[in-house]
Every structure is written in C-alpha cells, then in structure tokens.
C-alpha cells in the first residue's frame, strides 16, 4: 500500500514557486465560498512521519486563511476527555456547515500506538476501526466533505533523518517516533490495516510521500483545492440514493398490555422503596464512576415529565442533568444531527436524562418530513452505533417508550384543558399530531424493531395507569443501575 509513496517523488523549486501564489489565491477564495455553503469540511492529516505532518499542517494553515481553519491537535486526552467516551472529543469539535476543521492526531494515531504497546488486542483494534469507519460514514452521509491524508516517510529516509539529527546532538525521539523507527515493519503493517479498514467509499485515504516537503505540501494542497472546488460546484451535492424499501415492521406496540395497573397503596409503598434504592445506587454509581444515559420517548401525554420528576427526586442534584429536547437551535441545525447529543453525554459517574432524544430523527422528523427518507433509513444504524459506543465505553443506555392508547390520550387532553398548568394547554399542534397517530405508530414500530439491541434495549412501558408506569420505570432504572454497579 505504501509502495507508491516510496518512489522518491519530488517537486522542483521553480515549479513550486511558480504554483504557490495561484494555489493560495484559489484556496482562500474557496474558503470564502465555503462560508456560504451548507456543508462542513473535515480534513484529517496524520501519518507515520510526525514531523512531516506538523509541517504540512503549518503549511496548509499558512496558505489558507488561518482564521477560518479550526486546527485541532488531538494528542493525549485531557482528564476531562478521559472521563467521557472516546469519540466525545471528536464529536464536540466537529465543524458546522460552512466551516473547515483540520484534525491531526485524532482517532487513528492513538489507536495504532495503543495496539503497538499492547494496550489493546486485535479484537479491540477491529472494534475501534469499525467505530471509526462508521463515524466517518455518518459524517459523509450527513453531508460533510471528509478528506484524509496519510503522510508517509520511507524507512530509508527516516534512517537518514535520525542519523543526521543525532549528529547534530538532538537525536531524541519521542515514544511514538522511536517505535516507528525501531519497529517499522510492525508499524507499517498496522498502519496498512487501519487505513484499509477505514477507507470508506466517500472518505478515502490519500497516502502522500513525505521525502520531499515541496511535493508533500503541494500535493496535499492541490488535493484540498480540487475537492473543495468540485464540491462547491453548483449542483455538486450528490443526490441521495433512494433508500431500499424496508418491509413493514412488526407491530411491537400492540404487544404492550395497556391494562397493566397497580393499586394506589401498593404504588405509593413501592415508589418510596424504589426511590430510596435509586438514591443509594446513584451514590454507588458516582463512587464507581459509572455513568448512565436515560432516554424517554413516548406518545404525547404519556407522562414522561411525571416519571422524570420522580427519578430526579431520588437523585442528588449534582449527579444528574435533565436535557429537554425541542427544535434544534440555529447552531445545532448547522451540525450533524447527533452532535447536540454527543456534546451532552455525561462524564463518568453522572447521569443524563434525555426528555426526547436522538430518536426524534426517526419519529417526528420522519413523520413531519423534516428528514429525507434516505436520512431516516440511515439513522437506525447510526443510532445503534452511537449507543454501542457508549455502552462499550461504560455508559449505561436505558431507553423507555411510554405508551398510552388513543382513548387515554383523548381523556388526558380533555383533562389538561382543566389543569392550572399553562404548559399543558393543548394546542392545535397536539391535535394535529393526534391525527397522525397511524403514521407515528408505523414509525415507532420500526424504531423499536430496529434499535432495540442487546446492549441498549427499549423498555416498553404501559402507561395508561400512571402509577403503574412510574413504579415500572423506577424498577427498571434500579435494576439496570444495580447491574452496572455490581449490585443486581
């Protein structure tokens, strides 16, 4: 794979100096046009030649308007980053539409280093590669232009460089350079494996030879220019493929026994018990650095708010945060739809309760036609992958679908007309949503079918009887947390 990058490719000074001025004008003008565009650009620049990478990054920043290049050097994670899932820091820093980010270090290099030191084994490596691949795929599918460069220095050149440096008395290599130098075959085998596995169709790797700096920098910059220009061409955004029609999902909702109920006294007693237990479990989770994400979805008026209040009541305010999800802000709309959720993933030991969630993509956005059918069809896998990552990194994902039938909803809507709480006042939209009940049922059934995984199953909660629903949710949160802190 690296053969073509060991040819000793060079660019002569005259050619270089002749080309650079035009190239710079082009790049800056493209940056200017990009600011009006509705997609983000992510350039990933890494490689086995760390010195070459940092020179190439500096060169690109020099040639472009550095003010509009968000360069992020992902080295050793900070303490705060270590307390979050691995990809949290990459998600958080993602560029919005019209923005350009340059990532270096990033997910590739750290993983190679960890495999090299034996910190992770082959199975773990492949698991990680799978996440990277799907992460990049999700970005590309979301409309991002993703450009990935691997800067390669042939070992023969590296030997010369080390020799020269040692002669000049500054021969110290950092750990990674040392490993690349001394265990070159191993490193290159690993690098090839990583590159091959993450060579996503729309985010391919380009391997750039680093023997000659002019060749390296000019090749990268030309490629950035070409990709930007092509993508900024009017009508260049590729039409979305028509999604493969998906068979109608089984009617999971029908399996919910809405007659489930519990007598008032028993409910009160059990709720008190469970809240006390939850309180203890949360304290244990804090001590053991176990974090959790609770997701609440459900029919309008199914009682999500009431349940969330009962959970929160059992917790110490510093241990949890409630995130109510409504229409995205301008900034959120300008990012990948999962960005606003990744940003809010709890640090270890904490709980975040999502009142509605990323499932909006396959529910309201689907039914209201706010997301294309292709985007919706992709979302199931993207969501499953996100949850898988969270779970594998030690975050419990506990998802609830709160269900009531149309008659109960009608009763509650009527009751709300009488309630003194303004926020419960019924609006035209509520009745409109009600008319869409069959569309929602279809969407919910498909969601439950396709996103109820072993790692993050849906809990279906019959909620015609509020008391039953509250006790049931508390019970399930306790049992999931209990398992997580080793006290089932």
Q: How far apart are CA 50 and CA 113, in angstroms?
A: 13
Identify which range of 70-78, 122-130, 180-188, 371-379 contacts a copy of itself by CB under 8 A: 70-78
The CA–CA distances, whole Å, from 438 to 232, 413, 432, 435 equal 41, 18, 12, 8
For residue 67, the SS3 value is helix
What string marks each residue from 373 to 412 as x (binds a copy of itself by CB under 8 A) or -?
A: ----------------------------------------
Binding map of a copy of itself across residues 263-302, x = CB under 8 A, - = no contact: ----------------------------------------
Distance CA 282, CA 274 (A): 12
Token pair of 67, please? Answer: 């003010």
- Give min distance, CB of 276 to a copy of itself, in A: 14
Closest separation in Å from C-beta 349 to a copy of itself: 12
**Binding residue count for a copy of itself, defined by CB under 8 A:** 43
Task: Report the 10 Å Cβ neighbour count for 296.
Answer: 27
Whichever of 26 and 365 has its CB closer to a copy of itself, that residue is 26
In contact, 463 and 401? CB cutoff 8 Å? no
Per-residue contact track with a copy of itself, 48 to 67, x per CB under 8 A? Answer: ------x--xx--xx--xxx
Instruction: Provide the token pair at 233.
Output: 């061409």
Binders of a copy of itself among residues 179 to 218 (CB under 8 A) are: none
Nearer to a copy of itself, 202 or 313 (CB): 313
Residue 226 contacts a copy of itself per CB under 8 A: no
- The DSSP code sequence of 345-414 is PPPTT-EEEEES-GGGGGTHHHHTT-S-HHHHHHHHHHHHHHHHHHHHTTEEEEEEEEE--HHHHHHHHH
Q: Following DSSP, what letter does each residue of 225-258 receive, concatenated?
A: HHHHHHHHSTT-SPPPPPPPP-PPPP-GGGGS-T
Shortest Cβ 421–a copy of itself spacing (Å):
5
Site for a copy of itself in 317-376 (CB under 8 A): 317-318, 321-322, 324, 329-331, 355
CB of 196 to a copy of itself, least distance (A): 28
Q: Which one-letter DSSP state was computed for residue 291?
A: E
Residue 421 is a binding residue for a copy of itself (CB under 8 A): yes
Structure tokens at 170: 């500054």
* Contact status: 420 vs a copy of itself (CB under 8 A): yes
Contact status: 4 vs a copy of itself (CB under 8 A): no
Assigned token pair, 127: 């698991």
Residues 299 to 318 in contact with a copy of itself, rule: CB under 8 A? 305, 308-309, 312-313, 316-318
Phi/psi zone of residue 202: left (φ > 0), alpha (ψ -120 to 50 degrees), beta? alpha
Distance CA 325, CA 337 (A): 12
Which positions lie near a copy of itself, rule CB under 8 A? 25, 28-29, 31-33, 54, 57-58, 61-62, 65-68, 70-71, 73, 75, 78-80, 102, 104, 305, 308-309, 312-313, 316-318, 321-322, 324, 329-331, 355, 420-423
């Amino acid at each position: 794979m690296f053969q073509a990058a060991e040819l000793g490719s060079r660019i002569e000074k005259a050619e270089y100096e002749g080309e650079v001025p035009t190239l710079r004008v082009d790049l800056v003008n493209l940056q200017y046009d990009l600011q009006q565009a509705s997609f983000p650009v992510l350039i990933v620049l890494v490689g086995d030649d760390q010195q070459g990478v940092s020179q190439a990054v500096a060169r690109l920043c020099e040639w472009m308007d550095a003010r509009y290049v968000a360069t992020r050097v992902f080295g050793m994670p900070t303490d705060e980053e270590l307390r979050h899932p691995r990809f949290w820091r990459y998600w958080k820093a993602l560029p919005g539409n019209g923005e350009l980010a340059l990532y270096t270090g990033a997910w590739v290099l750290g993983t190679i280093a960890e495999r090299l030191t034996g910190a992770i084994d082959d199975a773990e490596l492949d698991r990680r590669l799978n996440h990277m691949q799907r992460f990049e795929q999700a970005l590309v599918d979301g409309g991002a232009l993703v450009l990935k460069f691997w800067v390669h220095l042939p070992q023969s050149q590296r030997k010369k460089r080390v020799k020269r440096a040692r002669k000049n008395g500054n021969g110290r290599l950092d750990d990674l350079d040392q490993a690349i130098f001394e265990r070159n075959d191993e490193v290159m085998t690993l690098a090839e494996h990583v590159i091959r596995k993450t060579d996503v169709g729309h985010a391919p790797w380009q391997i750039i030879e680093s023997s000659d700096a002019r060749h390296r920098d000019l090749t990268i910059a030309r490629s950035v220019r070409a990709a930007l220009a092509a993508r900024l061409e009017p009508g260049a955004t590729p039409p979305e493929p028509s999604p493969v029609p998906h068979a109608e999902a089984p009617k999971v909702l029908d399996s919910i026994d809405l007659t489930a109920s519990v007598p008032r006294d028993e409910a009160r007693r059990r709720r008190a018990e469970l809240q006390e237990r939850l309180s203890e479990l949360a304290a244990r989770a804090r001590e053991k650095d176990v974090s959790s994400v609770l997701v609440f979805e459900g029919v309008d008026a199914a009682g999500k708010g009431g349940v969330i209040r009962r959970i929160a009541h059992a917790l110490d305010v510093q241990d949890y945060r409630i995130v109510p999800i409504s229409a995205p802000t301008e900034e959120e709309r300008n990012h990948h739809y999962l960005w606003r959720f990744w940003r809010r993933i709890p640090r270890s030991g904490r709980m975040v309760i999502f009142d509605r969630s990323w499932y909006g993509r396959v529910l309201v956005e689907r039914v209201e036609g706010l997301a294309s059918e292709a985007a919706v069809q992709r979302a199931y896998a993207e969501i499953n992958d996100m949850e898988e990552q969270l779970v594998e990194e030690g975050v419990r994902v506990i998802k609830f679908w709160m269900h009531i039938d149309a008659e109960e909803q009608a009763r509650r809507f009527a009751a709300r007309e009488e309630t003194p709480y303004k926020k419960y006042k019924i609006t035209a939209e509520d009745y409109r949503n009600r008319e869409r009940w069959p569309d929602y049922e279809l969407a919910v059934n498909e969601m439950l079918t396709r996103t109820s995984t072993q790692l993050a199953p849906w809990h279906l909660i019959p909620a015609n009887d509020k008391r039953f629903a509250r006790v049931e949710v508390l019970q399930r949160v306790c049992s999931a947390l209990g398992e997580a802190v080793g006290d089932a």
